[in-house]
Amino acid sequence: MRRHTAGLTLLGIVLFGGAAAAPGNPSNESAARTAVEQFVSRLGGVSVSDMVVIQTLTLYDPRDFRQQVTGEQRLSIKLPARQRLETDLAGEREVQLLSGDRLVMQRGGKIFEAPPTERVRQRAHTLVPFRRTAADLLLEWQSLGVRTDVAQVVRAGGRALTVIGALEGDRTSPAVWLDREYGVVRFIIREDSGGRVKVLDLAFSEHRKVAGGFFYPFRQEIFLDGKLLSVTRVRTVEVNVGLPDSLFDADALLKGASR
């Protein structure tokens, strides 16, 4: 089975936990800013400096859903913008280390610094509400193609969701879906793959409270052009464990000193 990795490390975006506006009509950029400000302020009393997430990853072949492979992941995050994702899958080990704008990868016995296009894709990991303002988040979303001058509230599954970047019924435009309690429950972006634009759709569910009013999704699904690409099932989440800075040393990983 061909191994598809596009978008897998976008899972860091689920660190959001925020608020949505009351149901209303399609609105403008001020409505988006208001919703995100509420979203950020809700976590004002929650203190999170780092996180460790242990999860099971299942990859599916978009051409044949019956073909799948399962592995384990350890996601270590140190706020505001550092992350280390370690994956053991089908006998192979991969490490992705994001530190600011740098992304270093260890894969197939090789260690290398990812090109700019790959780094842009991973920037979603830095989109966490802690230590960030509403303006910061909106700018990050804009950099990923989300139109922050388009916003409205819809209802899905009995819950009010603020959709930023797309109107109701639009399932292909880059967009962020915010839930009143859980934060981001859906994130849609477009990727250029070999000259063809594809739609990457991330859905987050089964939220559990892990610190104060901060919820984390224990089920995460990624779809590529409407076909299931992966399912991540979280087993444990620990916060404020005191992760060392050395774990996120990009230069050390490049030299093979941090594995």
Is 111 a member of any domain?
Answer: yes
Is 68 a member of any domain?
Answer: yes
| pLDDT (0 to 100) of residue 136 | 84
Burial 208-246 (b: 16+ CB within 10 A, else e): eebbeebbbbbebbbbbeeebbbbbebeebebeeebeee
| pLDDT (0 to 100) of residue 25 | 46
Is 124 a member of any domain?
Answer: yes
Q: How many domains does the chain have?
A: 1
Is 259 a member of any domain?
Answer: no
Is 33 a member of any domain?
Answer: yes
| pLDDT (0 to 100) of residue 141 | 86
Q: 181: exposed, middle or buried (C-beta count within 10 Å: 0-12, 13-18, 19+)?
A: middle
Query: In angstroms, rounded to a whole number, what is the distance separating the alpha carbons of residues 195 and 91?
Result: 32
Query: In angstroms, rounded to a whole number, what is the distance separating the alpha carbons of residues 16 and 197?
Result: 27
| pLDDT (0 to 100) of residue 118 | 60
Q: Residue 165 corresponds to which amino acid?
A: G
| pLDDT (0 to 100) of residue 89 | 93
Residue 167 is part of a domain; what is its CATH number? 2.50.20.10
Is 101 a member of any domain?
Answer: yes
How confident is the prediction along the chain (259 residues), in pLDDT tens digits per residue?
544 444 444 444 444 434 444 444 444 678 888 888 887 888 878 889 999 999 999 999 888 877 789 999 999 999 888 899 999 998 999 999 988 778 899 998 899 988 765 655 554 443 456 777 888 888 888 988 999 999 988 888 888 889 999 987 888 999 999 887 888 889 999 887 777 889 999 999 999 999 888 889 999 999 999 999 999 999 999 999 999 999 999 999 998 755 5
| pLDDT (0 to 100) of residue 240 | 96
Query: In angstroms, rounded to a whole number, what is the distance separating the alpha carbons of residues 204 and 148?
Result: 21
| pLDDT (0 to 100) of residue 14 | 42
Predicted TM-score (pTM) of the model is 0.82
Domain that holds residue 131: 8-254
Is 1 a member of any domain?
Answer: no
Question: Where do the H-state alpha helices sit in 93-228?
Answer: 116-122, 134-143
Three-point CA angle 202, 204, 205, nearest 5° = 150
By three-state DSSP, how is residue 218 classified? strand
Is 3 a member of any domain?
Answer: no
| pLDDT (0 to 100) of residue 249 | 94
